[in-house]
Structure 1
Amino acid sequence: MVYESSYETGRKPFTPDMQRGKWEKPTDFIFACCGLALKLDIFVISYQLIFDMGLFAILPYYFYMALYLVPLLVIHSFMGQFSSSGFISAFRLSPFFRGMGYVSVFLSIASLIYYAIFATVPLIFLLHSFRPTLPWSCEGFKNVWNLTTMCNMNISESDAISTLANETDFDVLHMTETHVPSVLFFKQHFKSLFDGIFIGVTDSQFSWTIVGFSVMIWGIIAFIFRNYSETSKFGKLLRYMILTTLALLLICLSRFIFLPGALDGLTHYVKPHLDSTENGIIVMVVVALQAFGSGWGSVMSLSSFNSFKTNIMSYSWIIAFGQTLVYILFGMVSFILQHYFQAMKVDSFDLYAETNWVLYLSSASALATLEWANLWTILYYSMLLISSLVVMITQIFTVLTSLFDEFEFLREHKQRVTYGFIGFLGFCSLLLSTQHGIVFFSAVSLDSILTHSVMHLLLILAVLWIYGRERFQRDIEFMLGQPFASWKVFILRFIAPLFLIYSLLMGLLMASMEHMFQSSLMLYISLILVIVPLIFIPGYGMYITYQNTGGFCNRFRRACRPTDWYPQEMEDRQQYEEVVGNSDVTHQLYEVTEEVN
């Protein structure tokens, strides 16, 4: 393979940003990546399919962690740390696949627009929790719709018969829906309360209240980037935010244990079930992909702020186990709340509690039953708000980092670009202030599984087949200063792709099930978010191929060769040139003709 500089390919050479900074502490990288697990929409979308299986369903997760999650984390971390650049410029390793970086920007923007609702909802409940009487409590909630709610369930059997006979939710299976006041509290922000906020929505009216809260969220994010845009300050902020989130989560979990039915929920969660383990084998391969956050290249950009010799091997294992801990803790909270609502039944009748978004909506009614309800509500929704902000600001930080690394002219206007980007996201997120937006974009999270699986497969192709296993092994050994076993490369080349293909098929199945309850409009939007990026990647590759000279085969080979692929620090760069065996591998004025086998 010929190592070329950008001059030799006719493109502008990569100019590193020497002012981009480093993490204040090496562990800030671990905290930032563990914070990606706070992407809690996985607990909302297809919850019953993924997380209603208990602790033993997570056991297969550790198997997948060893076989493809940690290896993929290593590849992402290697590309970012070796190149000291974001997920666009890191593809100097093989410019033909640089389109994956631009697709990652597109997917990150889509996920940020969608994920804004997960910060808006906690803010709504948090601010209302400062009122003397919680508006979703039995004292503050006015049952003007004459529905069966948690507040009027304890009625006599004769009254229950009368209520059920007149209940519009009563169906042929003799089941009636028990409405949760906190869910109704959120729904009342929309005009059509009973059209259903999650399925079959036909109303697209704006909720100006939610618009106002959404503006507040983006204002908070703008304030954060105004004061913590430097890498060291940003990493320190993330560290404290994540530690605060985990501390509040443990405090709330310790209090939730005393809720009615909580111990049954915990028992159900930790009880061994063979069928749970079997189901975990099927679906946990998809959950493992959540380690990379709502965007695709986040880990790659975050690792670019590491020191060159940072041991990403051990860090990848710590990150994987740290994220598993987050899933377990939130899974315990979810099970406790689910069983709390299941325990509230009229003995003579089967009632179904309307526990939509149990972590975000239904939980408020459970908190309203506690002593010092306002305090616990403030603590709980502060935890959810901080966790959502962690996900959003980390995603924005990685996108901006990648854009500044790729486009040199943007570095002179970092502040303007940052505020403009946040403003653009805030404007687009207003779509989620309608019932249409909340319903339709709930499928985006599942659709992303398809795209992310394909992009991981392409990453393995680019790094371990096009760039080559020997060069990858040589580079990572040079960077870490320790051997990298060949069997690890074998797993990356042959074993990990098998699980990614399976994840792709599972994602296709789950997305199909989700779209059965969505409109045709959402199907078209999903096709745009899935098909168009996958077409853009080879399309951009062909564009890079066309820019080269010679016949098609020669053009294609040059498009796949690394350009300006070297460490950014001069001392590391000189040592790397000595290891490679060609001191002119990146010289701008030399024609390099030596083939490196």
Structure 2
Amino acid sequence: MVYESSYDSGRRPFKPDPTRGYWAAPSDFIYTCISLGFRMDLVWMGWLLHQRMGGTIIVYILCMFLFVVPIIVIQSFMGQFSSSGFISTFRMSPIFKGLGYISLFVNLAVLSYYSLFAAVPLLYLFHSLRPTLPWSCEGIEKWFPNSTEAEVKHPCKMLDVVDIKSGMVSSTYIYIGYEVPSVLFFNSIFGGDDVMESYRYNSPFLFSWELLVCTLLSWAIVAGVFYRFYNTELMSKFLRYTIWTSLILLLICVGRFMLLSNDWSYIFSYFMAKPVDIVEGIPSTVLIIVSAFGPGWGSIIALASFNRFRANIMNYSWIICLGQMGIFLAYGIITHIIQGYFKSLTTLYTNGALYLTSGSVIATMSWPNLWSIIFYAMLTLTALITMITCLFSIYQSIFDEFEMLRSRRTEVTLGLIGVLAFLSLYTCSNHGALFFSAMSMDSLFTQTALNLLLLLVVLWVYGRVRFQRDIEFMLGQRFATWKVNMLRFVAPICLCLLLLGAILASFVRHSNSSIVILIAAVFLIVLPWLYLPGYMIYVFLQTTGSFKMRFQRCNRPMDWYPVEIEERQRYEGAMGNMDITHQLNRIADEVVP
């Protein structure tokens, strides 16, 4: 295969951005990638509710060996070797560059609803400043009187009795559900409608002005961060300290929740598991593992592009996965304790996940306002960090690819935030607060498909031998062939199974979704896939030569070399040519014009 410059193919060459910079400290890459585990949409949808770490840790570690850590290594290699984001790095095989644009749409689609995870805890945080928590027993009685006088085993004696007319028979069924005060508080901002059950009763479209203010405030904070920390070094330091702050707050919350229960055997039961727990935990565990790559796709590629060329991504990848496992463990412990708390009061199912039910548990603690402020500040901060990290990778990928936009960074940055803020207004409604999960499942499908195609591009089109050669040149250590073969043959099987699960989950979510979410998913998730064959045709037509020569040039790397001058010279020498912008190895029967 021939290495050549884009000039030889008749296309615009890649021009590195000399102002992109590096991480202020090598460990900042690790911290930022670990923060991708703050992904809250899986927690919101309750994937952590019905599993135990003892039953999931085996599956988690197995998946880490099979495909999670190796894919993180590949993504880190692409970003670090090329010093470019998730669009420009596909000059490794230009015909697949459309994958970079698909990932751009996926990241924008995720951010269009992700502000919900910052706005909801921010709303609870503001109400935590009241002298009496509105979702405490004292506070809730002022605005939500008991619907029954019967004695109910619940801290606030709340009982909801609903008449449901059955379509199968003529009789009337009585459904009795124990309501959680903090969930009732969330419903109250939409006029009392049960948000989590609205799809069953075809509830009208309701809008919350409180949630709107918190959503706009979240985006204003994000805009202020990018305006103030405008370069890589400043953003690196900001993310480092905020991530450390959020991790400390998370550990404090875990410790306080563990002190809530006197039954330590129940807490330790979270770490134990029977064989049936392992089997039941496989679907949710695999979904949680996928969050290692962030809420969108390509963030690790862009974040790794700020590493120095010799950074040891092999060790970094394991540290990242173990750190994210610690975050999932912390979330799981809190959720396990919350569920255990309500199970001790009633055997019936309590509606709502970590976000909504936790408020009532906190209200029973001593100093409830203080712990409510700490807990919801932690949730708000983790959501904002995830949004900022995802946007940071998007911006750098755009500026790496489109040179003309580098001189207008401020306008592009603030303009894109404004567009995303406008798109996220739908999540301020009762339908948007519930049906966003359909787009989350769509993004999971796209993310898995992109990882599958990434293996095709790197290990088959670019080639196993050259991948091993480049990564060994970059790291100065051997990359075993058996690891590559596992990625070529075993990891695709795992990803295909996960892809089938994502398709099923997406279908189920969309069956109960709204038309607005369906239209948004079509434009932001489905239609971008048409860009892949379209860009393939475009690249093929832009390349010069015969049909065979065009096809070969479209698949082999263009301008693929280290950006750092010293490393580039070493790479040129290792490849046996002092000018990498020309062919390193010529094919005898090929004539390049």
8 A Cα contact 1:23 1:29, kept in partner: yes
Supply the distance in 1 between the matched residues of 2:148 and 2:52 (Cα, whole angstroms): 28
With over 3 angstroms needed to count, the CA separation of the structure-2 counterparts of 1:516 and 1:58, relative to structure 1, is farther
SS in 2 for 1:176: strand
Residue identity opposite 2:339 in structure 1? Q
Secondary structure of the 1:141 match is helix
- Aligned partner of 1:210 in structure 2 is 211
Identify the residue that residue 83 of structure 2 maps to in structure 1: 84
- 1:180 and 1:365 in contact (8 A); partners too: yes
- In 2, Cα distance between equivalents of 1:477 and 1:173: 68
Q: State the match for 1:5 in structure 2.
A: 5
Q: How many Å apart are 1:268 and its aligned residue?
A: 3.4
Calculate the TM-score normalised by the size of structure 1. 0.92
Residue 353 in structure 1 maps to residue 362 in structure 2: no
Match of 2:223 in 1: 222
Whole-Å Cα distance in 2 between the matches of residues 148 and 335 of structure 1? Answer: 29
Q: Is 2:129 the partner of 1:134?
A: no
The whole-number CA distance in structure 2 between the counterparts of 1:195 and 1:68 is: 37
Change (3 A) 1:174 1:254: farther
Aligned pair 1:423/2:418, yes or no?
yes
* TM-fit CA distance, 1:466: 0.8
CA separation in 2, counterparts of 1:324 and 1:194?
33
The answer to whether the aligner puts 1:481 opposite 2:480 as a matched pair is no
Q: Which residue of 2 aligns with 1:116?
A: 115
> Cα distance, 1:528 vs. partner?
4.1
- Give the distance between the partners of 2:283 and 2:136, measured in 1 at CA: 40
Identity among equivalent positions (%) equals 44
- Mapped to 2, the partners of 1:6 and 1:592 lie a distance apart of 16
Deviation for aligned residue 1:192: 6.0
Q: CA deviation at 1:174?
A: 6.8
* Superposition deviation, residue 257 in structure 1: 1.8
Shift of 1:118: 0.2
Q: 3-state SS of the aligned residue for 1:139?
A: helix
225-234 or 57-66, larger mean C-alpha shift: 225-234
Give, as a single letter, the amino acid of the residue that structure 2 aligns with 1:252.
Answer: C
Per the TM alignment, residue 558 of structure 1 is displaced from its structure 2 partner at its CA by: 1.2
Residue range with higher mean Cα deviation, 168-177 or 89-98: 168-177
In the alignment, what sits opposite 1:533?
528
* Cα distance per residue 1:286-320 (max 9 Å; x no partner): 33221110111000000000000000011111111
Task: Single out whichever of 576-585 and 256-265 deviates more from structure 2.
Answer: 256-265
Alignment of 1:133-212 (within 5 A): 133-142=132-141, 146-147=145-146, 153-154=152-153, 167-168=162-163, 176-191=176-191, 193-194=193-194, 196=196, 199-200=199-200, 201-212=202-213
How far apart, in 2, do the equivalents of 1:327 and 1:309 lie? 30
Which residue of the partner structure matches residue 252 of structure 1? 253
Identify which range, 252-261 or 133-142, moves more after superposition. 252-261
Residue 179 of structure 1 and its aligned partner are, at CA, apart by 1.3
**Aligned residue in 2 for 1:21:** 21
- Partner residue of 1:493 out of 481, 488, 491: 488
Paired residue type of 1:360:
Y
More displaced 10-residue stretch of structure 1: 509-518 or 294-303: 509-518
Bigger drift between 422-431 and 200-209 goes to 200-209
SS in 2 for 1:371: coil
Query: What is the CA-CA distance between 1:51 and the residue it aligns to?
Result: 5.0
Summarize the alignment of residues 348-497 of structure 1 with structure 2, pairs less than 5 Å apart.
351-354=348-351, 356-357=352-353, 359-497=354-492
What CA deviation, in whole Å up to 9, does each residue of 1:297-345 have, x standing for no partner? Answer: 0000000000000000111111111111111111000110111112123
Q: Given that residues 198 and 438 in structure 1 are in contact (C-alpha distance below 8 angstroms), is that contact kept between their aligned partners in structure 2?
A: no
- Deviations for 1:496-555, whole angstroms, at most 9, x for unmatched residues? 111111110111122223233324554454344443233322221221112112343322
Distance 1:264 1:352, change over 3 A: farther
| Equivalent residue runs for 1:274-293 within 5 Å | 274-293=275-294
Distance 1:170 1:90, change over 3 A: same
Provide the rounded CA distance (Å) in 1 between the counterparts of 2:195 and 2:470: 57
Q: Secondary structure at the match of 1:353?
A: coil
Name the structure 1 match of 2:169.
Answer: none
CA distance in 1, matches of 2:150, 2:450: 49
Matched, 1:73 2:72: yes
- TM-superposed deviation, 1:278: 1.9
State the AA in 1 paired with 2:68.
Answer: L
How far 1:387 sits from its partner (Å)? 0.6
Q: Which residue type is aligned with residue 61 of structure 1? A: Y
8 Å contact 1:447–1:511 — kept in the other structure? yes
Give the match's secondary structure for 2:512.
coil
* 3-state SS in 2 of match to 1:288: helix
TM-score, length of structure 2 as denominator length: 0.92
Aligned to 1:57: 56
Instruction: Name the CA shift for 1:499/1:208 in 2 (closer, same or farther; >3 Å).
Output: same
Q: In 2 relative to 1, CA 267–552 (structure 1 residues): closer, same or farther, beyond 3 Å? A: same
SS in 1 for 2:73: helix
Q: Structure 2: how far apart are the matches of 1:137 and 1:205?
A: 25
Query: 1:105, CA displacement in angstroms?
Result: 1.0
Cα drift, residue 230 of structure 1? 1.7
Check the 8 A contact 1:54/1:276 in 2, yes or no: no
Q: Is the 8 A contact 1:118 1:388 kept in 2?
A: yes
What do residues 235-262 of structure 1 show as CA deviations (whole Å, max 9, x unaligned)? 2221221211121111111111233576
Unaligned runs of 5+ in 1: none
Cα distance in 1, alignment partners of residues 148 and 386 from structure 2: 34
| Cα distance between partner residues in 1 of 2:174 and 2:248 | 43
Describe how 1:295-306 pairs up with structure 2 within 5 A.
295-306=296-307
Q: Alpha-carbon deviation of 1:145? A: 5.2
Other structure's SS at 2:137 match:
coil
Decide whether the 8 Å contact of 1:22 with 1:306 is kept in 2. yes
403 and 262 in structure 1: CA distance in 2 versus 1, 3 angstrom threshold: farther
Higher mean C-alpha deviation, range 491-500 or range 276-285:
276-285
Corresponding letter in the other structure for 2:545? G
1:570 is matched with 565
Query: Displacement of 1:406 after TM fit?
Result: 0.7
Q: Determine helix, strand or coil for the equivalent of 2:177.
A: strand
What SS does the corresponding residue of 1:47 show, helix, strand or coil?
Answer: coil
Aligned position for 2:505: 510
Give the conservation status (yes or no) of the 8 Å contact 2:121–2:355: yes
1:134 is matched by which residue type in structure 2?
L
Conservation of the 8 A alpha-carbon contact between 2:439 and 2:517: no
- What letter is aligned with 2:533? P
Q: Distance in 2 between matches of 1:296 and 1:221?
A: 20
CA distance in 1, matches of 2:385, 2:165: 42
* Aligned mate of 2:548, from 550, 553, 556: 553
**Per-residue CA distance 1:108-136 (angstroms, 9 max, x = gap):** 11101111000001111111111111111
